[in-house]
Amino acid sequence: MVSEKPPSTPAPLVVNPQKTRVGLSRMWHAFGYSMAGLRAAWHETAFRQEAVAAIVMLPLSAWLGRSWVEAVLLAGSVVFVLVVELLNTGIETAIDRVGPEWHDLSKRAKDMGSAAVLLSLLLCAATWGLALWQRLQT
């Protein structure tokens, strides 16, 4: 009786070789991609304006906050605006990649991203406004 070898299984298809990285190599490359994203965002006017405001507001949050919790809430509201702006820019970029023609769903996605930025800005303004009000009352 002749024994047959089991058929060899083919190597899994790797669509994105970046997904095979692990450990420190994965973390290092992820950091590089994040830095590339921030550099790309800097070319967006809205992000640049918000980032410049953040450079001023983040140190001020330590002065304005009466405790570390208040300082973190103030700083967090500023960072939250930047995060939402990055996500909005990502949505807009992906929509523009699909095609330049006008489509109702594309407009809807972009409008929702814009609304998210508006809400984050209102939250930040309310947080800072109330903190300033409290600081100036005493």
Q: How far is CA 11 from the centre of its chain?
A: 35
Locate the DSSP E strands across the chain.
none
How many Cβ atoms are within 10 Å of 54's Cβ, its own excluded? Answer: 17
Q: Is 85 a catalytic residue?
A: yes
Six token digits for residue 135: 């600081």
CA distance 130 to 80: 17
Measured CA to CA in angstroms, residue 98 lies from 48, 58, 101, 103 at distances of 25, 36, 9, 11
Q: How many helices and strands (H and E) does the chain possess?
A: 4, 0
Catalytic residue of the set 50, 70, 85, 101? 85
Instruction: Just list the catalytic residues.
Output: 85
